[in-house]
Amino acid sequence: MKIVLEVKESKVDFLLALLNDLPYVKAMPINDEEDGRFLDEIREAVKDVNLIKKGKLKGRPVEELLNEL
């Protein structure tokens, strides 16, 4: 399971040290600007896929996408 936490900058080192001491936790900081934007784009893509599956949004054929490359 993955959990995203927002932590004050001054407490990041302490929290990462604490989490890394736990054998069952793998902690990795993300860069808000780059990785946060990436996570937002992934969330939006998942939302779009769910809307397409429900028929509320029109998808496009994979061939069309591949032809753009």
Helix (H, G, I), strand (E, B) or coil at 40: helix
Residue 28 falls inside a structural domain: yes
Q: What is the pLDDT of residue 19?
A: 93
Residue 53 falls inside a structural domain: yes
Residue 3 falls inside a structural domain: no
Residue 2 falls inside a structural domain: no
**How many structural domains are present in the chain?**
1
Domain residue limits at 52: 9-68
Q: List, run by run, the mean pLDDT of 10-residue segments along the chain (69 residues).
A: 84 92 87 73 90 91 85
Provide the token pair at 34. Answer: 């780059």
Residue 4 falls inside a structural domain: no
Instruction: Give the Cα separation of 32 and 18 in Å (integer).
Output: 21
Residue 37 falls inside a structural domain: yes
Residue 1 falls inside a structural domain: no
- pTM to 2 decimals? 0.47
Q: With contact defined as beta carbons under 8 Å apart, do 30 and 36 qualify? A: yes
